[in-house]
Amino acid sequence: MRIVVACDHAGFHLKQEMLPVIRALGHEVTDVGTHTTAAVDYPDYAVAGCSLVVDGRADRGILFCGSGVGMSVAANKIPGIRAGNVEDHYSAHQGVEHDDMNVLVLGGRTIGLAVAEELVRAFLGAQYTGEDRHARRLLKVLEIEANPERFRAMAIGHTVNTGAAGVPSPRV
């Protein structure tokens, strides 16, 4: 697979340690930075990495920051990205298998090298199952992404119906 990696300054060292792991698994890697430990803003690198996934130049992405939270929040604002800040083996593969997660986010200050390598291996070794229950749920997520205004009303206290596809829709 074609894998894009990106990090901020706090994720730089973990990214550097994971690059040879990803390559050893036979994947082509594009590193969009940062390339030093000088302070940078994580949203810039989340966008840089995720844009390659969205436009098809990368099959999946791996982002690194201090906790994994900031990169995950920023990445999930980008349409087409399904990012997970993962710290356990099960979630690293299950996120792909059930949720079609296309970006793994790791915290350089929260997990060690051995765990990071295990998570990278699990994420890159997993495939989306496409089972009916997972496909149905993924369609609901994609509906939310495609129609945020429908769901904004729900967030401010409106009651909810279930739409034709089983997707909650605001009651007007």
Q: What is the CATH number of the domain that holds 41?
A: 3.40.1400.10
Tens digits of per-residue pLDDT, 73-130? 999 999 999 999 999 999 999 999 999 999 999 999 999 999 999 999 999 999 999 9
Do residues 109 and 149 both lie within one domain? no
Higher pLDDT, 122 or 164: 122
Do residues 42 and 66 both lie within one domain? yes
pLDDT for 172 equals 39
Active site residues: 65, 98
Structural domain boundaries enclosing 17: 2-125
- Tell me whether the omega of the peptide bond preceding residue 159 falls within 30 degrees of 0, making it cis: no
Average pLDDT (127-148) is 94
Do residues 21 and 87 both lie within one domain? yes
pLDDT for 159 equals 52
Do residues 88 and 20 both lie within one domain? yes
The domain total for the chain is: 2
Do residues 10 and 95 both lie within one domain? yes
Do residues 163 and 110 both lie within one domain? no
Do residues 119 and 47 both lie within one domain? yes
For the cut 80, the answer to whether the pLDDT of residue 162 exceeds it is no
For the cut 60, the answer to whether the pLDDT of residue 63 exceeds it is yes
For the cut 80, the answer to whether the pLDDT of residue 160 exceeds it is no
Do residues 100 and 150 both lie within one domain? no
pLDDT for 166 equals 54
Do residues 155 and 117 both lie within one domain? no
Tens digits of per-residue pLDDT, 10-62? 999 999 999 999 999 999 999 999 999 999 999 999 999 999 999 999 999 99
Task: Please give the model's pTM, rounded to 2 decimal places.
Answer: 0.88
